Structure 1
Amino acid sequence: MTARTDTTTRLRLGGVPVDLIRLDEAIGEISARFTDASRRPLGVASINLDHIHHFGDARGGAGQPLHSGEAAPVEWLNLVDGAPIAAAARRITRADWPRLAGSDLIDALLDRAEAAHVSVGFLGGSHEAHDMLAQRLPERHPALRVAGSWSPDRSELTDDDASLQIAEDISVHGTDVLVVCLGKPRQELWIERYGPRTGAHVLLAFGAVVDFLAGRVSRAPGWVAGHGLEWAWRLALEPRRLAHRYLVDGPSAYLTLRRSIAPAIERRRAVGAEGRAVG
């Protein structure tokens, strides 16, 4: 286990780096970067089984790992999201770690953005969701400075020239914080390739958050979330879009995650002390 910052510990699960951090610490670390132009942009990702499927070892190393290290274009903060990730972290560290989905963080981060007078933009989601967002957002965050919203279609996101134009437009609008809701793995890959060109200091890879903020999609009730069944709730709401993710990709990613736990525990025992490498 390696220390990432003073408040964050990083380990690897299923071939993916995962940062263990508390809610208040995460909000503080992310919001502290809103106005920091001296460093690489901070990308924030939610780590769940879908993330392991796309970026970890779930396909025998055939995934698309995100870059790390000082030479990487974006510095990633990888937050525990899915219940299996939280359970694996607990087994390895013998401590409970909160699940920090984008939908759990977004309102607190927008509150911080209001207080800091920084500009927030939204990338991804349908035109309908953006229209609804424009109506609802002032009610929840009346002082929020909105740089703009962009709803490109898939052909634009897979076209380099079109994506560069989108990034330039986001930059022209003076966007400090960009909420990127393109779904995995597109949102993380787009952030790595085009994020630095947007001029945003923080890029939040937050999936369906635009739909949640707009009221277009309902979040799972507390008792559902408490039992780790958000996936079933979302599957019931959007079966055609999510069936393959949860019923085909998910099980293989879960097996990959399970296989990574025992070696991590053994390395932890070999080191014999917290705060040193186990993964």
Structure 2
Amino acid sequence: MSTVDSFTGAIPTLDTDGVTVHLVAAEPALEVIANAASRHAERPLGVASINLDHLHHFGRHTHLGRASSAPPDGSPVEWLNLIDGAPIAAHARRETGQAHPKLSGSDLIGEVLNLAAARGLSIGVLGGDPALSDPLRSRLARDWPAVRFAGHWAPPRERFATPEGSAGIADEIRAARVDILLVCLGKPRQEQWIEQHGARSGAGALLAFGAVVDFLAGRVSRAPGWISRSGLEWAWRLMLEPRRLANRYLVQGPPAYWALRHA
């Protein structure tokens, strides 16, 4: 194990198929996010959810693992990598002899917004369907009226295809004075965008939380609590969106799981 500095302080870490995972509970993780959002350091905080899909894209076992979420010194973003998914939590328990909580973005987002309301922070969303802008605005106004909704950026995929296009998006976000940016582009694009353009966006904390935009806007329902606690939320999501998620869970997932068990 090792420790890292700055926002993440002395949080212990674990190497997981070449990806650093922070062994942290919900309350200190939320405090790290809120502090980063408030400070707007030159080197912002990126938050990633580490699950089998993440290992498929960034793990040591795959040829796709071209950019680990533990970038070398000098990275423009400091990463906080949270356990997301029963296999990662089980691996951490095997390696450390202690239980560590699963902290998925969909579980944390409510508390993130509560902290944003308490500290007067603004929220922006990058990604998702443009049709979600009004439901997002309505949900935030209803449940978190003290949070300033800085904007929803849902540009066409082509705009992300060039460095100039992505940089332009970051400039728009900076102009809107976003404190916490939810980056919901799907893996690996969301982590790559944060690494390459997060500092330019001016946001203090950038959360790679994937489907959170759909949950907040009411487009997709969260799994019942007992399903999530039993580690079967992936099956719930597969049932709701089989065409989009079958490849992730049924084709890409098994090799990542094998690599995790034989790390």
- Given the two structures, how large is their TM-score scaled by the length of structure 2? 0.95
* Alignment-derived partner of residue 122 in structure 1: 125
| Cα offset, 1:62, TM superposition | 4.5
Matched residues in 1 for 2:231 and 2:66: separation?
25
1:76-132 CA deviation, whole Å, 9 max, x = no partner? 000000110000000011111000000111111111111111221110110122221
Structure 1 residues 3, 143: CA separation in 2 closer, same or farther (over 3 Å shift)? same
Say whether 1:35 aligns with 2:41. Answer: no
1:195-237 CA deviation, whole Å, 9 max, x = no partner? 1110011100000001101111000111111111111100111
Map 1:210-221; keep pairs closer than 5 Å: 210-221=213-224
1:7-64 CA deviation, whole Å, 9 max, x = no partner? 5210111111100001111111111111213441000000000000000123157443
Q: Is the 8 A contact 1:7 1:25 kept in 2?
A: no
* Alignment-derived partner of residue 249 in structure 1: 252
Amino acid corresponding to residue 241 of structure 1 in structure 2? R
Query: Which one has the largest radius of gyration?
Result: 1
Question: Which residue among 90, 104, 109 is the counterpart of 1:106?
Answer: 109
SS in 2 for 1:35: helix
Map 1:1-279; keep pairs closer than 5 Å: 1-4=1-4, 5-6=8-9, 8-60=11-63, 62-66=65-69, 68-260=71-263
Matched residues in 2 for 1:132 and 1:54: separation?
31
Q: Is the 8 A contact 2:20 2:70 kept in 1?
A: no
Amino acid corresponding to residue 246 of structure 2 in structure 1? A
> Which aligned runs of 4 or more in structure 1 are off by greater than 4 angstroms?
none
Gapped regions of structure 2 (runs ≥ 5)? none
Matched residues in 2 for 1:243 and 1:256: separation?
20
User: Higher relative contact order at CA 8 Å, sep ≥6: structure 1 or structure 2?
Assistant: 1
Matched residues in 2 for 1:213 and 1:237: separation?
16
Q: Is the 8 A contact 2:21 2:81 kept in 1?
A: yes
Matched residues in 2 for 1:39 and 1:235: separation?
39
Amino acid corresponding to residue 80 of structure 1 in structure 2? I
Amino acid corresponding to residue 171 of structure 1 in structure 2? R
Structure 1 residues 144, 72: CA separation in 2 closer, same or farther (over 3 Å shift)? same
Matched residues in 2 for 1:99 and 1:9: separation?
15
Task: Name the % identity.
Answer: 53
